[in-house]
Chain A
Amino acid sequence: MGRFSQPNPADQGREDTGGVTAKVNQILLAKVATKAAAKATAEATAKVTAEIEAVITAKSVNQAATKIAIRTATKVASTGNQVIPIGNFELFLALLFILVTVGIILWLRLGLAKKLIIATLRCYGQLLLLGFVLAFIFIYDSPWLTAGAFLVMIGFGVQNIISLLKSSPYRLFWPVLASMSVTGIPITFAVTMLVIGVSPWYKAQYVIPLAGMVFGNSMSGIALAAERVFADLEGRRDEVRLLITLGATPWDASLPSIRAAVRTGLVPTINRTATVGVVAIPGMMTGQILAGANPLEAARYQIVIMLMLAAASSLGAITVALWSYKKAFDPSGAFR
């Protein structure tokens, strides 16, 4: 079974070996890079990078040439099994497209420029912060930290759903929290422990990203279903009241609405599962391929993930619909 590509410890914290003198010139650097590319192994890249770092430290070569050499070496070597790193400059380069979009938005007076800029800044801030937090969690790799990450994910997920459902007159905190937890946690661990075989079971590098995907998907299923079940009951108000007067239980009266809600939660998942890989390469598979994984191996992972996500959003939708419909009825079973 394949694994996500792991960072090579050899890449980090290399000291100046002292083997390369200040007299190393541009030609030598290019040669070293070519050598590394030929070997195309992580170890070779690490050595090359270290040697180049030494050159940079020596400050006796043309800075531009050094940069080009590093990039060439890393790029070629990465076809073996490495990620092409994105530097600060490149990170800001990506902003250009957004600036173009902002320009168009301003020209068309869409009134969305401020929102897009804030969203972009949030994207930078949130993802970089996430990177730092995950790096910290991965280093310590404790079950408590993994559990803490679960709590944070569930907490934000629940808060997000509740804010989407703020027009609902019913208090849905507990049904939403319960639906997120009873579907997300078992599905995540079913995949990490039974399918991927992660060891130890709490290994943050696997458990947290997968849990994030599971919670994200069950969140959308839950939000759609919870919104729909009450909207449908409200749309059927006269009929529901009639059924109750004839001795129907809340279950009898709600069944068509529960079906509609579950269908609403399921349809996007079914469509996504059926069309995956036809229009676009899914995100996780793209990530793995960019990280140097064999596409077939990445496809196997993606299949597991797709099915896991389909289960998460479907079960989330079903659970929340079943858990929350009674909120529309008083303790005697009368429609509120």
Chain B
Amino acid sequence: MKRPHLFSIHNMTVFRSQKGERRLVLSQASLDLEPEELVDLVGVSGAGKSTLLEAAAWLIPIAEGIMTLQGGNYKAFAPQEWRRKVAIYLQKPVAAPGTVRENLLLAWKFTQKPEQEMPSDIRLQSDLEEVGLSGVSLDNNASELSGGQLARLALLRILLLQPPVLLLDEPDASLDKDSAQLVNKRIWRYLKENQAAAIRVRHYSWGDSASRTLLIREGKILEG
């Protein structure tokens, strides 16, 4: 019997409403992801890159098509559970009110706690060090972090949920070259250790490190 894809989007159509007008943003988009795969999704602004990620994270209504995770239809999951398994890194990293520790452990404050045990301070501190945030204390106020620091904190925050699929919306947009390399390395280590996969949105392909590149144009996915 054929093994199901780790993650699959099939013929997905999504509309967006703006000022009462319904606009087609994704048209029958399909893609499959396998474990340890990092797929770059490139395209011009407005091509539908971020929309695809938001739809994959079940943050916007999907008009047509299906998504599966390890063979299971997304509708069989509770939306909250799906969002922790197909975790999105938002283009604009945000700090919730509170310390760095509180920000990293946000999900453990919710009504439905993550399946994983709450990570210890030692684990959190070592995570911060790995992405070049050794100078940041867990007790620092998260709102005092710079854009680049916040971007790395936001990435660590979703990695702690150990999702099988990562949806990364320009994760290196606000990072300098060295930090971007550290983040890249961290993502790859994560994918390998957890048999996970990721879609990474970029404006254009840098030709570095992605397993393959897909082009999105006018809401349609084309092979790069």
Q: Are B94 and A248 in contact (CB under 8 A)?
A: no
Q: B154: nearest residue on chain A (CB-CB)?
A: A242
Q: Are A246 and B83 in contact (CB under 8 A)?
A: yes
What are the interface flags for A141-159 relative to B under an 8 Å C-beta threshold, 1 for contact and 0 otherwise? 0000000000000000000
Tell me which residues across on chain A come within 8 A of B88, comparing CB atoms. Answer: 245
Pick the contact of B59 from A238, A248, A334 — CB < 8 Å? Answer: A334
Q: Are B84 and A247 in contact (CB under 8 A)?
A: yes
Q: Is B151 an interface residue (CB 8 A)?
A: no
Q: Are B111 and A239 in contact (CB under 8 A)?
A: no
In the bound assembly, the distance between CA atoms of A333 and B59 in angstroms comes to 8
What are the interface flags for A240-277 relative to B under an 8 Å C-beta threshold, 1 for contact and 0 otherwise? 01111111110110000000000000000000000000
Q: Is B222 an interface residue (CB 8 A)?
A: no
Q: Separation in Å of the A142 CB from the closest CB of chain B?
A: 47
Q: Is B132 an interface residue (CB 8 A)?
A: no
Among A284-336, those with CB < 8 Å from B are 330, 332-335
Asked whether A242 and B94 contact (CB < 8 A) given A252-B109, A252-B110, the answer is yes
Q: Are A334 and B79 in contact (CB under 8 A)?
A: yes
Q: Are A245 and B90 in contact (CB under 8 A)?
A: yes
Most buried by A among B88, B92, B94, B107: B94
Q: Are B109 and A247 in contact (CB under 8 A)?
A: no
Q: Is B12 an interface residue (CB 8 A)?
A: no
In the bound assembly, the distance between CA atoms of A228 and B111 in angstroms comes to 24
Q: Separation in Å of the B126 CB from the closest CB of chain A?
A: 21
Q: Separation in Å of the B220 CB from the closest CB of chain A?
A: 24
Q: Are B107 and A334 in contact (CB under 8 A)?
A: no
Give the number of residues in A that approach B within 8 Å (Cβ atoms): 18
Q: Are B110 and A244 in contact (CB under 8 A)?
A: no
Tell me which residues across on chain B come within 8 A of A249, comparing CB atoms. Answer: 80, 110-112
Tell me which residues across on chain A come within 8 A of B7, comparing CB atoms. Answer: none
In the bound assembly, the distance between CA atoms of A243 and B154 in angstroms comes to 12
In the bound assembly, the distance between CA atoms of A334 and B55 in angstroms comes to 11
Q: Are B111 and A334 in contact (CB under 8 A)?
A: no
Asked whether A238 and B110 contact (CB < 8 A) given A245-B83, A333-B79, A334-B60, the answer is no
Q: Is B61 an interface residue (CB 8 A)?
A: yes
Asked whether A246 and B57 contact (CB < 8 A) given A238-B94, A333-B79, the answer is no
Interface residues on B, range: 20 to 34
Q: Are B83 and A244 in contact (CB under 8 A)?
A: yes
What are the interface flags for B110-127 relative to A under an 8 Å C-beta threshold, 1 for contact and 0 otherwise? 111010000000000000
Q: Separation in Å of the B55 CB from the closest CB of chain A?
A: 10
What are the interface flags for A108-126 relative to B under an 8 Å C-beta threshold, 1 for contact and 0 otherwise? 0000000000000000000
Q: Separation in Å of the B149 CB from the closest CB of chain A?
A: 16
In the bound assembly, the distance between CA atoms of A252 and B96 in angstroms comes to 13
Q: Are A246 and B107 in contact (CB under 8 A)?
A: yes
In the bound assembly, the distance between CA atoms of A330 and B55 in angstroms comes to 13
Tell me which residues across on chain A come within 8 A of B109, comparing CB atoms. Answer: 252
Tell me which residues across on chain A come within 8 A of B94, comparing CB atoms. Answer: 238-239, 241-242
Q: Separation in Å of the B29 CB from the closest CB of chain A?
A: 19
Q: Are B57 and A247 in contact (CB under 8 A)?
A: no
Q: Are A246 and B111 in contact (CB under 8 A)?
A: no
Tell me which residues across on chain A come within 8 A of B59, comparing CB atoms. Answer: 241, 244-245, 334-335
Q: Separation in Å of the B22 CB from the closest CB of chain A?
A: 15
Tell me which residues across on chain B come within 8 A of A247, comparing CB atoms. Answer: 80-81, 83-84, 107, 110, 112, 114, 161
Q: B86: nearest residue on chain A (CB-CB)?
A: A245
Tell me which residues across on chain B come within 8 A of A334, comparing CB atoms. Answer: 58-60, 79
Q: Are A246 and B79 in contact (CB under 8 A)?
A: no
Q: A335: nearest residue on chain B (CB-CB)?
A: B59
Q: Are A246 and B90 in contact (CB under 8 A)?
A: no
Q: Separation in Å of the A14 CB from the closest CB of chain B?
A: 67
User: Could you list which residues of chain B lie within 8 angstroms of chain A, going by C-beta atoms?
Assistant: 57-61, 79-81, 83-84, 87-88, 90, 92, 94, 96-97, 106-107, 109-112, 114, 157-158, 161
User: Could you list which residues of chain A lie within 8 angstroms of chain B, going by C-beta atoms?
Assistant: 238-239, 241-249, 251-252, 330, 332-335
Given A246-B158, A247-B110, 17 other A-B residues pairs in contact with their CB atoms under 8 A: A239-B97, A241-B59, A241-B90, A242-B90, A242-B106, A246-B106, A247-B84, A249-B80, A249-B110, A249-B111, A249-B112, A251-B111, A252-B110, A333-B79, A333-B80, A334-B59, A334-B79
15 A-B pairs (CB sep. < 8 Å): A238-B92, A238-B94, A239-B97, A241-B59, A241-B94, A245-B83, A245-B87, A246-B84, A246-B87, A246-B161, A247-B83, A247-B110, A249-B112, A332-B61, A332-B79
8 smallest CB-CB distances across A and B, nearest first, come from A332-B79, A247-B84, A247-B80, A238-B94, A252-B110, A246-B107, A334-B59, A242-B94
